[in-house]
């Protein structure tokens, strides 16, 4: 397998856009600040491939007039902070050909082939101010199908904002007008000046637990990982919800959400599959969208990062010996505390810090350093509210859309099944030595619960 005729150019906004330094919110500058990859696969394209490329480029150029932050560059400023220079330098557009058919792929799961379909970001050798904030590659397969692989800076956009951009770009490529322009002003999620008191809540400082004792010669972060997609039918989802709700019905007025229940099931399964000791601490990392938790709510198309990271903690013995509803309650209680006061307290706390860099999960120049969130911990992100499907650029909807790379132990996503039948999919990365046990326990427990 080889990739041929790979060429690159910069696509800039088709019209003049606002220029200047755009102040970022504190939520833009903490957490993950690297690029986030996603990929779309399509089976149809016109015979004239040059027309496809021309339409994709011209529509992208038009769409960037509205989403102009993507065409800018980041700059480092004092205090470990970043600012966005809206200079219209453009986004990187790569076109390539691969000598294989879509059917030649064993599956459309994240795999080594993705490294040929999604452009990588050279954090090591490029200065920050030269790294494009959106890098994409359109790759044609020998069968006529193609893929669109994107790498989008998480500083500029969270999942909602990134997918809003893709949706509008596809709309413009089909010959339609922008439906919902982005709301770009970040002032709605900026700290007070001077910062207000942060005493109203206790802020989480996530220092993830480590395994109590090494179980091999390799460190946990050096273990081989593998990826799987675990489908849950509507019936299996209801089995889990019924079990959780039944065990906690005397303590709650509303049933648990699908996210709360499935996340609890993932956490419990991971503790069991990893064969933790009962006294082993474990942390569950989650992201909470705050758009509708602010007072007043943020504009529906707020463009930027409007998510906060929260954690639930426990001991493996506690998580496994208590019913699913107990673990679901731990998750719900953590999510419930995220309200307007909580978010503003985080903003003000971060504003008061001399160096924001210490709160980032991973600096782009130190890929092997920073906190490790794998065994004995897990992270579960919900894509259930994201418009991940239906990106039709004019040649039909995608046959698959998913995360581009997913190779960190303990990371997982929950997303809707492609068929729209109410099924859900858990995209999971785990150490290879634990994966088979995880899959067995994940489904075995559901079957036991249904009997």
Positions marked catalytic: 154, 392
What is the pairing mode between strands 378-382 and 281-289? Answer: parallel
Query: Could you give the C-alpha distances from 121 to 153, 203, 224, 362, 444, in angstroms and in order?
Result: 10, 32, 22, 14, 40
How many whole angstroms separate alpha carbon 152 and alpha carbon 74? 13
Q: State the Rg of the chain over Cα.
A: 22
Query: Which one-letter DSSP state was computed for residue 261?
Result: H
What is the pairing mode between strands 225-232 and 424-431? Answer: antiparallel
How many whole angstroms separate alpha carbon 405 and alpha carbon 227? 10
Q: Following CA atoms 431, 433, 437, 443 in sequence, which dihedral angle do they give, to the nearest 10 degrees?
A: 40
Query: Are 415 and 231 in contact, with CB atoms under 8 Å apart?
Result: no
Query: Are 428 and 412 in contact, with CB atoms under 8 Å apart?
Result: yes
What are the φ and ψ backbone dihedral angles of 242, each rounded to 5 degrees? -65, -40
**H or E element in which residue 229 lies:** strand 225-232
Ranges of H-type helices in 131-180: 159-173
Q: Among 188, 134, 151, which Cα is nearest to 303's?
A: 188
**How far is C-alpha 13 from the geometric centre of its chain's CA atoms?**
26
Query: Which one-letter DSSP state was computed for residue 129?
Result: G
* Coil, strand or helix at 439: helix
């Amino acid at each position: 397998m080889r990739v041929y005729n790979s060429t690159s150019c910069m696509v800039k906004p088709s019209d003049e856009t606002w220029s200047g330094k755009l102040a970022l919110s504190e939520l833009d500058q903490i957490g993950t600040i690297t690029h986030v990859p996603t990929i779309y696969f399509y089976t149809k394209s016109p015979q004239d491939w040059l027309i496809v490329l021309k339409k994709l480029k011209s529509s992208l150029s038009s769409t960037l007039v509205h989403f102009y932050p993507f065409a800018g560059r980041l700059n480092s400023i004092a205090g470990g902070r970043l600012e966005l220079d809206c200079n219209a330098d453009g986004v990187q557009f790569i076109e390539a050909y691969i000598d294989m058919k879509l059917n030649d792929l064993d599956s459309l799961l994240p795999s080594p082939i993705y490294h040929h379909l999604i452009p990588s970001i050279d954090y090591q050798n490029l200065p920050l101010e030269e790294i494009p904030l959106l890098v994409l590659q359109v790759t044609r397969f020998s069968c006529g199908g193609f893929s669109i692989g994107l790498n989008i800076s998480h500083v500029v956009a969270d999942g909602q904002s990134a997918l809003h951009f893709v949706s509008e770009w596809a709309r413009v490529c089909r010959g339609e007008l922008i439906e919902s322009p982005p709301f770009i002003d970040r002032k709605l999620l900026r700290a007070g000046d001077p910062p207000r008191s942060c005493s109203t809540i206790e802020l989480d400082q996530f220092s993830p637990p480590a395994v109590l004792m090494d179980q091999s010669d390799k460190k946990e972060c050096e273990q081989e990982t593998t990826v799987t997609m675990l489908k849950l039918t509507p019936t299996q989802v209801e089995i889990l919800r019924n079990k959780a709700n039944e065990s906690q019905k005397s303590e709650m007025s509303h049933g648990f959400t699908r996210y709360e229940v499935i996340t609890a099931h993932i956490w419990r399964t991971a503790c069991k599959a990893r064969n933790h000791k009962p006294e082993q601490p474990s942390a569950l990392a989650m992201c909470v969208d705050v758009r509708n938790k602010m007072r007043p709510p943020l504009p529906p198309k707020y463009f930027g990062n409007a998510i906060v990271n929260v954690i639930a903690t426990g001991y493996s013995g506690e998580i496994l010996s208590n019913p699913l509803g107990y673990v679901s309650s731990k998750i719900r209680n953590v999510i419930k505390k995220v309200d307007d006061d909580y978010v503003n307290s985080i903003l003000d706390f971060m504003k008061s810090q001399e160096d924001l860099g210490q709160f980032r999960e991973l600096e782009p120049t130190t890929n092997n350093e920073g906190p490790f969130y794998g065994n004995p911990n897990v992270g579960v992100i919900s894509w259930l509210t994201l418009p991940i499907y239906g990106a039709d650029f004019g040649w039909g909807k995608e046959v698959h859309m998913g995360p581009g790379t997913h190779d960190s132990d303990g990371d997982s996503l929950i997303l809707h099944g492609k068929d729209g039948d109410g099924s859900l999919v858990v995209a999971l990365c785990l150490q290879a030595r634990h994966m088979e046990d995880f899959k067995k326990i994940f489904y075995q427990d559901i079957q036991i619960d249904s009997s």
